[in-house]
Structure 1
């Protein structure tokens, strides 16, 4: 795979418009990397959408900036998402699917289920979210 074919970067105010840009870029990336199995594409896109949407919805101030870097290799789908928001308080031990009647609160739980690695760190400049899904063609046939 051409290294440049499997990479994109978007950057800007942390709003839903940037989320849409990131997902549009991901669609274009899939066109350039046709060997990625469909199940891996779908679940990685779901996680990327959930995390970036959460950041946008919980940080609606114009001064919060969101940066999304995605890299696809033959083995791995990886996103590094950085925001300049205050530290996001995430209790990873308490992340779980809410009951069926809940209207929100599924994003982190869905992302955890879709990814092989999902980390969040806080630094002096904001939050960093790393999403990793290993590419495995057997997952499509295993169901």
Structure 2
């Protein structure tokens, strides 16, 4: 890898923001020379969290999201910060729903794909996603 990569975006909690997240992931993977498995699993986790924020965040005011991606030799990291009401989610008790459930898999998938998923709720929500990079084959 040719150095650390950091990318940022800010936008409204709308479906187009998920597209922006995917575009930044493309740039990150190109610049960071990230392996296929790490790309697939990190993209899946980041996409699930981004989609959950856009679909489920609530506030009386318009919701804005700050998004930062970083990549270094050891890990991939994504941080979402929003101004929404605190998300009432207990990440320690998130599990995969029954096979016939129509929703509710996003955070369970993200937890399975990441080494760390944390959430803080001071002044909105901050979601921190980390995946340790696999050694090159």
Separation in 2, partners of 1:33, 1:25 = 12
Separation in 1, partners of 2:21, 2:92 = 29
TM-score by length of 1: 0.88
How large is the Cα RMSD of the aligned pairs?
Answer: 1.6
Cα displacement (A) at 1:100: 1.0
Separation in 2, partners of 1:60, 1:25 = 25
What corresponds to 1:76 in structure 2? 75
Question: How do 1:56-135 residues align onto structure 2 when only pairs under 5 Å count?
Answer: 56-59=54-57, 63-123=62-122, 125-135=123-133
CA contact (8 A) 2:57 2:87 kept: no
CA contact (8 A) 1:77 1:132 kept: yes
* Mean Cα deviation higher: 86-95 or 46-55: 86-95
Separation in 1, partners of 2:63, 2:23 = 21
Label 1:60 to 1:90 Cα distance change in 2 as closer, same or farther (>3 A): closer
Separation in 2, partners of 1:93, 1:128 = 16
Does the residue aligned with 2:65 lie in a helix, a strand or coil?
A: strand
What corresponds to 1:20 in structure 2? 19
Separation in 2, partners of 1:60, 1:26 = 25
- CA distances 1:46-75 after superposition (whole Å, capped 9, x unpaired): 110000100000137671001110000010
Higher helix share: 1
Label 1:74 to 1:131 Cα distance change in 2 as closer, same or farther (>3 A): same
Separation in 2, partners of 1:71, 1:93 = 25
Tell me whether 1:47 sits opposite 2:45 in the alignment. yes
Separation in 2, partners of 1:89, 1:16 = 22
CA contact (8 A) 2:58 2:85 kept: no
Separation in 1, partners of 2:66, 2:53 = 11
Q: Could you list the runs of 5+ residues in structure 2 that have no partner in the other structure?
A: none
Q: Could you list the runs of 5+ residues in structure 1 that have no partner in the other structure?
A: none
